[in-house]
Amino acid sequence: MTDHPFRFGAVGGRAPDAAAWTGLARRAESLGYDTLLVPDTLGTFSPFPALAAAAAATTTLRLGTYVLSVANRTPRAVAWETETLQTLSGGRFELGLGAGRPDAEQDAAALGVPYGTPGERVERVMRTIDAVGNTRILVAASGPKMLRLAAQKADTIALGLPVHYTEEQVAARLDELYELSGDRFHDLELAMNLAFAGEDPPGWVASRFGLTGTGVLIGTPQQMADTLLRRRDSLGVSYVSVNAQCMEAFAPVVERLAGT
């Protein structure tokens, strides 16, 4: 059980042109989404300029990285970019950080920067958080080292778990987080990303992700809302993000639950 109200984010990383990108941001805002989130991969827009453009096109929408790979930038560079975007957005930026996804090592190599060992990347996440001031921090975590760091340093913890994980498997990981965070646990906002959300999943969703894990949400808007309410009660997850391709289909859920 958590006292945190529901928040909802849309994850988008690319558009054919500036008008389409800013239109996506305005649409997310008009549908009631709290945040527009941009990944940090070479297959998507560079997050900081993309979020700056989105900030200029909106007034209330919050903006975040989801998540920044710490291998790609020094802690001071992240602090510099963060301070700039916080100013230009009127304080609407949230910094999401991670130690690197499976494809992040290839991106680092293409950028000509050292990826580092797992321990070095966890250390860099910590140094990046320490370098950034006055900004809400989200940390993507799944393993013990990142969960421990997130428990100590983050405002929001995004559970970086496989799409096929059941609620029981998520609960087991949260038990570990509870032990690590102690008195901070109930202050932490817990987040999960949905790879798909909607009533009629296309065939590729089942073949790629399966249809029974917590990372896929299927049903009518009321059924999806009921599932998220139950998960908030049982798991404490109150911040839910969806792929921008699902933004319209998921909007009735956002209308029902945002801020409650």
Domain contains 102: yes
Tokens of 254: 């956002």
Determine the structural domain holding residue 243 and report its residue range.
7-257
What are the backbone dihedrals phi and psi of residue 142, each rounded to the nearest 5 degrees, phi first?
Answer: -140, -45
pLDDT digits (tens, 9 = 90+) for 90-131: 999 999 999 988 788 999 999 999 999 999 999 999 999 999
Domain contains 129: yes
Element (H, E) at 179: helix 167-181
Domain contains 56: yes
Peptide linkage before 67 cis (omega within 30 of 0): yes
DSSP 8-state code for residue 188: P
What are the DSSP calls for 237-252, one per residue?
Answer: EEEEEEEGGGHHHHHH
Give the pLDDT of residue 211: 86
Domain contains 1: no
How many distinct structural domains can be found in the chain? 1
Q: Which residues of the chain have pLDDT under 50?
A: none
Tokens of 152: 């100590």
Return the CATH number at 213.
Answer: 3.20.20.30
Tokens of 186: 């109930």
Triad 26, 27, 33: Cα angle to 5°: 95
Give the pLDDT of residue 1: 64
